[in-house]
Structure 1
Amino acid sequence: VLVPVLYLAQPDNRLMANGALIQGRDVTLISGGELNNSGTLRASNDLAASATTIDNRGLIEAGNRLELLATDSIRNAAGGIIAGRDVSLIARDGDIINERSVTTVSGSGSGYQYRADVVTAASRIEAANDLSLVAGRDVHSLGSVIQAGGDAHIEAGRDVLIASQREEDRYSYQQRRETGSQYQVTQHASELQVGGDLAISAGRDLGIIASRVEAVGDITLQAAENLVVAAAANESHEESYRKHAGKKTQRIDSSVSQQQAEIEAGGSLVAVSGSDMTLVASDLRSGDEAFFYAGGELSLLAEQNSDYSLYDMQKKGSWGSKKTQRDEVTTVRNVGTRITSGGELTLVSEGDQLYQRARLDSGADLTLESGGAITFEAVKDLDQESHEKSKSSSMWTSAKGKGTTDETLLQSQLIAQGDIVIKAVDGLKIDIKEVNQQTV
């Protein structure tokens, strides 16, 4: 019986993005060094690849089982796709990286400078059935997609990070009569979607940042040290200065918007950290019970959305006349963390607990239990507006203006269809001394 043997002449077994293709019913690739794929590896049945490191920027696909084994690291980048029915990735001593790649370009010309991030499409790891990602060090998914039709298991010896990929763009210009600048930050969210149960385990820290994690079944999050679920900011800033014919104008428009992290379990949601747990401006939901345990401190913190605009004008006329106008508007809105459970909602910590504009909504009983103190800290929303105008000449001056400042004090809300129980070894601290079933 003759066994077909494939010889790859390219150095480091690299498949170029020029249509290079390896295809068969069962495909097995073994490399003593690196395996770099920018083409297509496809098996109608099973596909297995092993190497010191595996780098995919193309397509690796199996109709049935797909197994990638690296003694060091596995990287899926630049819109690469790894897909199969049952998918297993193991990076024995290294990392598993699934990332939306970012390349920074910059340049300048006559009167302008720019810096821009060029962002690829999301990279994808997809399993029609079950998915397993195991790394000796870190598992990172940055601005990319991980999907499983069945159960998914993610395990790292150090950190697990499901986070947005940040895109930053800057532009500035200098003209004879006008100078200005533009700055923008865009968060490209990661997605982790599971049709069954999801279990994530980190030997050190676990972070979910400005991304969405969803499972039809249960979600279990475990970190030996710290666990963080947090928002990240999308930003837009524009500023210009213009001077012409005795008239000076300045315009500023600035906006910061928090992109929430979202976790949604159709069944139960369990989050456990050996040290601190921090939930910042995020949304967590479960169809059944939700349980949070921190071996250290537990904090549910607020972040801020803000908008600022300024128009400032000065104009000089003939015979010493002058006209001015200034319009300034500031808006600040605090975004807290919301936890909603269909069943019981329980938050337990060995250390202190801190709540800023949190909303806890339980379909049954709600329990807060702390080995230290529990603090409900108020935050302030702000609406500030001022408008001023003036006219003057060598003989007379007139001016008028108006301004308003409104501050709204916001506390946390505790809502339960059953009982609310609060236990704190070192007592309860509340900025506003009114406690009922709706508001703390």
Structure 2
Amino acid sequence: MLTTAASPRFGSVTAESRMKGTTQQKPSLRNRLCQWGGDARERTIMMISEWAIVVAAWIGRRPQPIGPDGCEIMLTGRFDSINWILAHLGPLAASKECKRLWMVSTNPVPDLPKVTALYPPKWLVTVAGATLARLLTFLWAALHKRPHVVGGFHLMYNGIAAAIAGRLAGARSMYFCIGGTEVANDGVIDQPNCFIRKTKANARAQRRRLAVVSAFDTIVTMGTRAARFFQDHGVVSDFHVVSGGIDSMRFHPAHEPKPIDLILTARLSSEKRIDIFLQAVRLVAGQLPDVRAVIVGDGHLRAELEQMVAELGVQSNVTFTGHQNDVENWLGRSKIFVLTSDLEGLALSVIEAMMSGLPAVVSDVGDLGDLVESGVNGYLVPRRSPQLLAGHLLELLSDGEKLKVFSHAAHQSAMRYEKAATTQRWDRILSSFRT
């Protein structure tokens, strides 16, 4: 049985205040002013976006028919991980209905069949910054090359740019909704890398975002919960649920000793709530002193998280590996995958882990319920619940037979997200564009 004698310490401000925005203290005047400024800026951007989409529709070109060789597609997004590009672009480009795919990016795009990388000029990046330079290049390229489909990953700002570019170039606009719904976030955090962190949800901002989302011809969500949210809020676009496609030759169960008990792979940022994972590790260590946990990934909170590890007294239990290109090898040496995020879509990291045969114990957020079935291949845990999380981890670590059964079920569940299956979904979607 899990005891909680040590748990009061985890509510202390000392440990959690090092995680930006994770305490429940009343926001300071400065934070409230920043909140107000962020809301005002967002309302302005969304209002300008709505008008820009309308004007683009007035002056835009007529759509071009799709030839027998298939669609020409142009996408943009900020990809910090090669795995992300391989998982999302690989299956799409592999579709027999895709003739050519241009990816407008500032980060390196790996060599893939039928994929051409377009990078903004260095001088434009210097003058305008990486994000604006990329979006300007995307708009120019869409008008110049006139693809059949233009798309953006995340609503801010890539999706908005795709909605405008689609109207101008006479192309079908496609929005890839990656992180949960990206519109209703219960005040957890706003769009990544765009606006300040939120302290509460904003209904007016949600309505404006929904108005922009309604302008897309096609919306691709990672899971069913996000699609259902948009439909319940009156968005009547063409919806498709397509996660990234994972290479099962790379991610597969390993038949070797597993010295790592718990593994978490994520960007070290506030919405991932790695402080909750560390609190759970401390509780597990109270019952299993030799438990070994590994955190794969890097980010701006690493120093604060390492300090929290010291404050919780779990230095001997937790290892930070930093960014790793061979995630599959780390998963192959691990028993259980953990993700404690406040918001997610259908995270590729969870699919990769489960395809590698790891049961997943994750926050019950976003679309993770599409993949994780509690008591079968892992557990869905209410977010910010370190004691419940620790209880499930102890249950699996203490029962080798159950861990083995869950491992097999996890692998079987994840195989429907294999790359070939995702490519077949894209075959059906792209072929529907002809009509």
How does the TM-score come out when normalised to structure 1? 0.24
Greater per-residue strand proportion? 1
Structure number with greater Rg is 1
How does the TM-score come out when normalised to structure 2? 0.24
Greater per-residue helix proportion? 2
